[in-house]
Amino acid sequence: MAKVKDVLKEFFSADQGEDDFVLPLDESGKLIRPMGTVKAVQHSFRTRSRGKDEKNNPKAAEIPDMLPLDDESRALLELANAVRDKAYAKYSGFRVGAALVAESGQVYLGVNIENASYPAGICAERSAICAAISAGERSFSAIAIVGGEKGEPCYPCGICRQVLAEFCGPDFPVILADGVYSLGGLLPHSFEL
């Protein structure tokens, strides 16, 4: 089974070589063809697990677990970055894109959608989760989030962290521009019923 970065290459063009791959963007940098679900892919996303000593140290919870980006994470970030141009950010101008990988291997995309009644808007992360849940998915492997200035991490808001915690464990990888964080590191005390 192919990996995320390989599937992205195959999905857009079989003509491009390994080093020539770029997402199909128009002159303004927008994704040329709309994307929904990408075919199933093999992946190896992971986060740093806390050691025994760190679990008992209350200060350790203040430091998000982070690993450096690998090829798979970068490929998923590229996809999140490409889809963020489809965001509806009429009021803030702050566009966010998310790419959520289900355990099935399917990739679900989401963008932020604003509304004049601000609470009616939805974040990119929750948009991707809604698409996945609507398709019958319930288990997820990783999410990549891109927003703001190029190269700066766009951390998920508190509501999105809590929604992710509804379906994902504390070791769930949250891929940002500067590294791969664990959900538990970003939300150490999630609400549970």
Q: For the beta carbon of residue 12, count every other beta carbon within 10 angstroms.
A: 18
Listing from the earlier edge strand, what are the strands of the sheet with 179-182? Answer: 66-67, 179-182, 173-176, 140-147, 96-102, 107-111
Is 125 tagged catalytic? yes
User: What is the Rg, in whole angstroms, of the alpha carbon atoms belonging to the chain?
Assistant: 17
| From 72, 125, 137, 166, the catalytic residue | 125
Residue with tokens 């894109």: 97
Of 142, 167, 178, 153, give the one whose Cα is nearest residue 47.
142
Question: Coil, strand or helix: which one is 145?
Answer: strand
Would you mind telling me the total number of residues written for the chain in this entry?
193
Pair of tokens at residue 33:
């063809």
**Which helix (H) or strand (E) covers residue 61, if one does?**
none
- What is the torsion angle, in degrees rounded to the nearest 10, for the CA atoms of residue 69, residue 132, residue 114 and residue 146? 10
139 — phi, psi (to 5°)? -125, 135
Question: Would you name the residues annotated as active-site residues?
Answer: 125
